[in-house]
């Protein structure tokens, strides 16, 4: 998307096309496999650094572009404004590219302020077609058909090959944005990655089931795949791990499920709320008991009682038969094992917050496993 500045429009468009693989980002909207307006991609060669057009000599050597600040640039890589990829773009294009980070959850508000103060970036990275339409209506951005026709090569051909993208780029028959068809890796952005070199070192195959994943994780933990001589490898890590665990057991809180012929929301499913509640109530009970200087066994049992009756109270308030009395699956034992996990970590000096939350997740995970495999206690 292009801010008004006709004199160097083709330069800005060219650098946007050249930033294809570097600035690709995820999107929450769009359909038919199209990536919403605002992100751009093109085959190598789409950017043109030189031209015989005499107007090129008047073009400035600087271009600015907004970027969603998701807080995911590590300190050793630098900042959004200055990192190896920005430097690479500058070196390859010969243009001084400036990144203007805007908070992802406040992007439009931030952009509105920049626009109103005449400090808007030359290129605006945005996915919301409604917002782009507002900028078009306000005259903030200009159409780029002329520049695509005059200067583009591969991107113009790409649009001819994918005419289904045009509706996402145009307003009143004029093009105001560039985009590409979404790749699989932008859709499956909560997938798991596994170290093939670790699998090879331990002579393991990539897991294909939850059970195999657990076995591989155990082997990673104890088999020293990183070669430091210690069985201390963290086998599973990542900020989306909780989403992955929830997916294993069909209980993702923000997804819908078809059950018994009806659509049900994940966060409202009994198994999800029950598992989370059991984990939280249990460790809260243990923590309170420890604060009262109770013996370890008594503290663990207090956690079990708190976990069970927390769930009972929740179901009574919801006017339902308490789940602990009706599903026949392990309940107290999940809390008991998780409580002892918390107690043992506390005894060995593990950080309190980590011990608390990891134990709560452990209890919740055990409870979800009983749902996944329909494990039941004898009656």
Task: Copy the structure tokens of residue 10.
Answer: 């083709």
Q: Which positions ≥6 away from 360 have C-beta within 8 Å?
A: 279, 280, 282, 283, 338
Domain boundaries along the sequence of the chain: 6-186, 190-237, 247-372
Residues contacting 45, CB < 8 A, separation 6+: 153, 154
Mean pLDDT of the 326-331 span: 74
Do 7 and 58 touch, CB atoms closer than 8 A?
yes
Angle between helices 296-317 and 332-347 (to 10 degrees): 140
d(CA 220, CA 228): 12
- Give the pLDDT confidence score for residue 109 in this predicted structure: 93
pLDDT computed for residue 7 by the predictor: 38
Do residues 99 and 86 touch, judged by C-beta distance below 8 A? yes
From 3-12, 53-62, 76-85, the region with the lowest mean pLDDT: 3-12
- Cα(29)–Cα(298) distance, integer angstroms: 52
pLDDT value, residue 37: 47
CB atoms within 10 A of CB 265: 12
pTM (two decimals): 0.45
Which pLDDT score is estimated for 122? Answer: 92
pLDDT at 19: 38
Nearest 10 degrees: Cα torsion 340, 346, 351, 354 = 10
pLDDT given for residue 332 in this prediction: 86
Query: What DSSP state is assigned to residue 183?
Result: P
pLDDT for position 235: 86
By percentage, how much of the chain surpasses pLDDT 70? 72
**66-116: pLDDT as tens digits:** 999 988 888 888 999 999 999 999 998 888 999 999 998 889 999 999 999
Region of poorest pLDDT, from 33-42, 125-134, 326-335: 33-42
If one counts every other C-beta atom within 10 angstroms of the C-beta of residue 341, the result is 20
Dump the DSSP string for 237-280.
Answer: --TTHHHHHHHHTT--TT-EEEETTEEEEGGGSHHHHHHHHHHH
Q: Indicate whether 5 pLDDT > 60.
A: no
Pick from 121, 116, 122: nearest CA to 59? 122
In this prediction, residue 28 carries a pLDDT of 34
d(CA 269, CA 251): 7
Q: What are the pLDDT digits (tens) for 130-163?
A: 999 999 999 999 999 999 999 888 899 999 999 9
Q: In 3D, which of 199, 139, 161, 150 has the Cα closest to residue 41?
A: 161
* Distance separating alpha carbons of residues 165 and 170, to the nearest angstrom: 9
Dihedral (C-alpha) 110, 113, 116, 120: value to the nearest 10 degrees?
-40
Mean per-residue pLDDT, 371-379: 65
Bigger pLDDT: 250 vs 21: 250
| Topology (CATH) of 6-186 | D-Maltodextrin-Binding Protein; domain 2 (3.40.190)
pLDDT band for 279, please (50, 70, 90 cuts): confident
Query: What is the structure's pLDDT at 135?
Result: 94
> Mean per-residue pLDDT for 345-373?
85
Structure tokens at 111: 């952009």
Distance in angstroms (rounded) separating the CA atoms of residues 181 and 162: 8
pLDDT of residue 249: 62
Three-state DSSP class for residue 362: helix
CA separation for the pair 324, 311 (Å, rounded): 8
Pairing of strands 62-69, 96-103: parallel
Average pLDDT, the chain: 78
Q: How far apart are CA 5 and CA 56, in angstroms?
A: 14
Cβ–Cβ under 8 Å, residues 24 and 41: yes
Dist CA 274 CA 75 (whole Å): 39
Q: Pick from 135, 152, 145: which is nearest to 11 by CA?
A: 152
């Amino acid at each position: 998307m292009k801010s008004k500045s006709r004199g160097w429009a083709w330069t800005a468009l060219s650098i946007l096309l050249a930033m294809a693989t570097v600035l690709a980002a995820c999107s929450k909207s769009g359909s038919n496999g199209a990536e919403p307006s605002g992100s751009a991609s093109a085959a190598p060669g789409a950017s043109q650094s030189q031209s015989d057009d005499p107007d090129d000599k008047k073009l400035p050597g600087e271009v600015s572009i907004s970027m969603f600040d998701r807080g995911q640039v590590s300190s050793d890589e630098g900042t959004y404004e200055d990192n190896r990829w920005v430097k690479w773009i500058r070196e390859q294009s010969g243009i001084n590219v400036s990144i203007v980070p805007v908070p992802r959850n406040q992007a439009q508000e931030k952009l509105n302020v920049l626009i109103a103060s005449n400090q808007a970036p030359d290129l605006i990275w945005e996915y919301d077609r409604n917002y782009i339409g507002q900028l078009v209506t306000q005259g903030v951005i200009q159409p780029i058909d002329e520049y695509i026709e005059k200067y583009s090569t591969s991107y113009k051909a790409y649009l001819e090959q994918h005419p289904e993208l045009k509706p996402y780029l145009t307003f009143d028959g004029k093009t105001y944005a560039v985009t590409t068809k979404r790749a699989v890796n932008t859709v499956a952005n909560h997938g798991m990655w596994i170290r093939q070199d670790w699998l090879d070192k331990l002579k393991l195959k990539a897991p294909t089931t939850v059970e195999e994943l657990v076995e591989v994780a155990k082997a990673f933990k104890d088999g020293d795949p990183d070669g430091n001589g210690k069985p201390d490898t963290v086998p599973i890590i990542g900020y989306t791990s909780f989403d992955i665990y929830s997916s294993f057991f069909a209980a993702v809180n923000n997804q819908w499920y078809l059950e018994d012929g009806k659509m049900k929301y994940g966060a409202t499913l009994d198994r999800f709320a029950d598992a989370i509640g059991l984990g939280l109530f249990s460790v809260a009970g243990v923590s309170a008991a420890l604060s009262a200087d109770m013996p370890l066994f008594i503290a663990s049992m207090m956690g079990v009682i708190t976990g069970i009756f927390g769930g009972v109270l929740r179901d009574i308030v919801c006017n339902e038969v308490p789940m602990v009395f009706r599903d026949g699956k392990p309940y107290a034992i999940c809390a008991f094992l998780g409580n002892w996990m918390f107690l043992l970590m506390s005894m060995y000096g593990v950080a309190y917050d980590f011990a608390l939350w990891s134990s709560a997740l452990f209890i919740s995970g055990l409870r979800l496993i009983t749902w996944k495999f329909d494990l039941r206690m004898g009656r």
